[in-house]
Structure 1
Amino acid sequence: MEIQLLAIHWVYLIFIFLIIGVMVMRKDTTLVSILGILAISMLVTKSLPSSILSLFNSLIFAIKELLGTILIISLIVAMGKVLTHSGINELMVRPITRMIKSPLIAYWVIGIAMMIISWFFWPSPAVALIGAVFLPVAVRVGLPPLAVAMAINLFGHGIALSGDFVIQGAPTITAGAAGIPVGDVVSASVPLVMVMGIVTTVVAFYFLRRDLKNGTISVTSNQLAKIQTQEVKINSLDKRRYKLILAFLIPVLFLLDVIGMFVLNLTGGDATALVGGTAILILILTSLLHHKKNRMDKITEYLVEGFQFGFKVFGPVIPIAAFFYLGDSGVLTILGKDALPQGSNGIVNDLGVALASIVPLTKHIAAVTLAIVGSITGLDGSGFSGISLAGSVAKLFGSALHLDIATLTALGQIAGIWVGGGTLIPWALIPAAAITGVDPFELARRNLIPVTIGLIVTTIFAMFLL
């Protein structure tokens, strides 16, 4: 049955373009998203009080959808705080530094360590840990701080965050906007993340090796002198028995979580709950052992710090997510069953079907469009605030061309996070640049060619999967 497009469809489409325009101008999307929700609510309810009510309910709907993700990230960060204060985090990774014997080995060891830690702790807390422990060792064997920052960015903010296989924050946002299960996006992203990660890091390694040989980048005497002070601090770590035990036990617990996910076939919210429960138990145990006074108060303090971080990250995400949830099942929950015409499959689905009937679309156009849209969502430098748009556009093209929505969603997610999550946008590079003492603009310039080549290859690869 042919679906007739109503004013609600056209208004929704107009606000999609407005949101894209705001992103291109590198402005925040909150105001436009809220105005979009109000406009759609007014069209359906024809009542200002009801529209205001719907605006609040749409934000509540988005928070409910994202609450598990906000909670897990908050708990992981809270756990990271106590591990940092106790010094256990440095004890956990210090044995890996013994593998670093040359600058080229240092690049891969630092990168892989950053990737693994970022899967479980997220890149933001991992940056300080990896930088503090690995930077002195890397510089001593001849790897410049700029190259250390590149490894941290590409493996942590790139590979780990774009897949987000364990915490599943990114796929939860994009899957919600696309109206598909989180597990589908995670599964679809695996080959794309692998291709993107391998191509980008290998290209970066090629340029790094070339520049080390010809002396374009090198370790300076000032950098060598600076790291000696840092090494003294690391070598004097408190190594009390309980810390050594926890430094061994914590990675084992998370490894058991991963095994449990496969054995018990846990995905989505269940997998997240397993990791979150483990994190809060580690937080409690470490706090009780490390703090001699006010132990119970310290547990609360760490939790508060974690929640502050979680809502700081997701504060900009909630309004735009609320808008894009209206494009799918959220519209019926928020505005009622009469919000759409009979036979409608949702605003975005209807637009996709209409688009297919008037424009000669192909899977190649769809893949390129998702890569571009994903990249645009990353222009604000957060990597997260706009990726709901990628999920919504993926559903639009998937519905129009009967393509795999999960693959399109994963492609948009990867593009958005690689561009905005901390590899290309200079202000998103500040944490890694600060911990290694390099210029964020120079770091962005060094990352530009490898990431661009990676995105092109990954987009072409995605075309074969659609």
Structure 2
Amino acid sequence: MIHLTAIHYIYLLFIFIILGTMVKKRDCSLVCIIGIALLAIVSTKSLPLSIISIFNSFIYAITELLPTILIISIIAALSKLLRYTGINRLMISPFTKLIKNDIMAFWVIGIIMMIISYFFWPSPAVALVGAVLVPVAIKAGLPAIGAAIAMNLFGHGIALSTDFIIQAAPKITADAAGVPVDAVVSASIPLIIVMGLVTTISAFIFLKKDMKNGLIEENVYDKYAEDDEPVNESCISEKTRLFFAILVPLLLILDVVVMLILNLKGGDATALIGGTALFILIFISIFAYKNTSLEEITNYLVSGFKFGFTVFGVVIPIAAFFYLGDAGFTTIIGNHLPVGSLGIVNDLGYALSQIVPINKIFGAFTVTGIGAITGLDGSGFSGISLAGSTAQLFGTSTGASIPTLTALGQFAAIWVGGGCLIPWAIIPVSAICKVSPFEVAKRNFKPVVIGLVVTTIFAIFLI
């Protein structure tokens, strides 16, 4: 029998403080740092060692997240180059022939956004897809707000919440939950089928109803439109541009085939995509910039790293705290846990199962609720470590499937905060479509909430 100590109670207290801070829509980095310091000083009884532990926790978190940050940075750099050279226009242009009416426009633009988001991540994919397909969709009869909803739900919703190819999200939540990445990815598949169908179909039904009743206002909000990045299609010939427009998707599809054949998962799969993207970036830069390609390759990489650390900078302090709940504690602070401890989160899970008569239904809805709350900061990623830790906690105490609960918490956090319900997270899509992010968030609310409730109920039967 493991007895809870001050370390366990401090960790639990700060989980609630972090949740409260997120509900208030305030940044919780300082709260996490204070939590790390308190855990360290109570464990080591040494102020210098506790200060060292704060820095070590950041190193640990960065080390764990570095492959994820690196792949996102490289993908962002490549997408910027594709846009500059006009290769993105040729890559997407064949799909414009499929858009004949507003119904086809909604589903085609959404599905293409989802596919490209899996390889390039949603934020860069917005620029790749929006510049070409949004004008075509509007011409086919789909309101700009409809195009924004489709891009948002399929990209920042379905693709980002599962993240099957780059595996940034499942890596973070799996680490926090103490389960393999591929287990979370596998558990995500049935859940995203339900979540994706419910949200997109309900959103389309609500949109068509408002279109029929004349409730769609086609106001253009230029203040949300960002300045376009420079484009210089003349830097390469049309033949070369066409060659790369075919080569890029072929290489990325080949990566997926190689993953399946060699059974590459997790870090290896990420490394394959990242190495391929880097190779493509270098190859295109040489053709586009010729004599100045050495400098321009560096400039694109620096731009990509800025994007990567901007996205994940807020995640590092939070992840540093939640890594203490599992194996990270011994590495960061030292072997100061009670004898027989299985890790703070595991200990709390066992203690909870002895004290409170909880069950799988309670656990599933709690994980979804906590995931949604962590998404209120508009990041989606900053709180998924907490979602993973909570899934481990309830999975341990109820005997439920930890990977399924982890995927559920991950979905809730990213669908809410990753760019579907929080207005300031929707700005990339609203800027491309020139509509209000608040209007997009308002129209997404009912479909996403309905989707989360239905998916949570469905998950109960799986755990």
* TM value normalised by structure 1: 0.95
2:224 maps to what in 1? Answer: none
Offset of residue 293 of structure 1: 3.4
Amino acid of the residue matched to residue 371 of structure 2?
G
1:263-309 CA distance string (max 9 Å, x none): 10000000001100100000000000111331110000011111111
The correspondence of residues 2-401 of structure 1 with structure 2, limited to 5 A, is 2-217=1-216, 240-337=238-335, 339-401=336-398
1:408-464 CA distance string (max 9 Å, x none): 010000000000011111111111111111111111111111111100100001101
State the SS of the aligned residue for 1:291.
helix
RMSD value, Cα: 1.8
Give the whole-Å Cα distance in 1 for the aligned partners of 2:406 and 2:105: 34
Give the whole-Å Cα distance in 1 for the aligned partners of 2:109 and 2:64: 35
* Unaligned runs of at least 5 residues, structure 1: 224-229
Give the whole-Å Cα distance in 2 for the aligned partners of 1:239 and 1:378: 44
Give the whole-Å Cα distance in 1 for the aligned partners of 2:426 and 2:59: 32
Kindly indicate whether the alpha-carbon contact (under 8 Å) linking 2:69 and 2:312 is maintained by their aligned counterparts in 1.
yes
Amino acid of the residue matched to residue 322 of structure 1?
A
Amino acid of the residue matched to residue 434 of structure 1?
A
Offset of residue 235 of structure 1: 12
Q: Percent of counterpart pairs with the same letter?
A: 61
Give the whole-Å Cα distance in 2 for the aligned partners of 1:296 and 1:122: 26
State the SS of the aligned residue for 1:106.
helix
Give the whole-Å Cα distance in 1 for the aligned partners of 2:382 and 2:334: 27
Kindly indicate whether the alpha-carbon contact (under 8 Å) linking 1:133 and 1:234 is maintained by their aligned counterparts in 2.
no
Offset of residue 90 of structure 1: 1.3
Amino acid of the residue matched to residue 427 of structure 1?
W
Indicate how the Cα distance of structure 1 residues 237 and 444 shifts in structure 2: closer, same or farther if over 3 A, else same: farther
1:352-402 CA distance string (max 9 Å, x none): 100111101010000000110000010011111111110011111111111
Give the whole-Å Cα distance in 2 for the aligned partners of 1:191 and 1:234: 43
Runs of 4+ in structure 1 displaced over 6 angstroms?
A: 233-238
Offset of residue 114 of structure 1: 0.2
* Unaligned runs of at least 5 residues, structure 2: 222-227
Paired positions, count:
455
Give the whole-Å Cα distance in 1 for the aligned partners of 2:35 and 2:218: 52
Amino acid of the residue matched to residue 321 of structure 1?
A
Give the whole-Å Cα distance in 1 for the aligned partners of 2:269 and 2:12: 35
Bigger Cα displacement from structure 2, 292-301 vs 454-463: 292-301
1:217-259 CA distance string (max 9 Å, x none): 2768x89xxxxxx9xx999997611110000011010001111
Give the whole-Å Cα distance in 1 for the aligned partners of 2:62 and 2:6: 27
Offset of residue 184 of structure 1: 1.0
Give the whole-Å Cα distance in 2 for the aligned partners of 1:69 and 1:234: 30
Offset of residue 195 of structure 1: 0.9
Indicate how the Cα distance of structure 1 residues 47 and 237 shifts in structure 2: closer, same or farther if over 3 A, else same: closer
Kindly indicate whether the alpha-carbon contact (under 8 Å) linking 2:85 and 2:233 is maintained by their aligned counterparts in 1.
no
State the SS of the aligned residue for 1:293.
helix
Kindly indicate whether the alpha-carbon contact (under 8 Å) linking 1:87 and 1:237 is maintained by their aligned counterparts in 2.
no
State the SS of the aligned residue for 2:385.
helix
Give the whole-Å Cα distance in 1 for the aligned partners of 2:212 and 2:232: 30
1:410 maps to what in 2? Answer: 407
Kindly indicate whether the alpha-carbon contact (under 8 Å) linking 2:36 and 2:54 is maintained by their aligned counterparts in 1.
yes
State the SS of the aligned residue for 1:385.
coil
Kindly indicate whether the alpha-carbon contact (under 8 Å) linking 2:2 and 2:341 is maintained by their aligned counterparts in 1.
yes
Offset of residue 216 of structure 1: 2.3
Give the whole-Å Cα distance in 2 for the aligned partners of 1:123 and 1:159: 10
Residue 444 (1) aligns with residue 441 (2): yes
* TM value normalised by structure 2: 0.96
Kindly indicate whether the alpha-carbon contact (under 8 Å) linking 1:76 and 1:276 is maintained by their aligned counterparts in 2.
yes
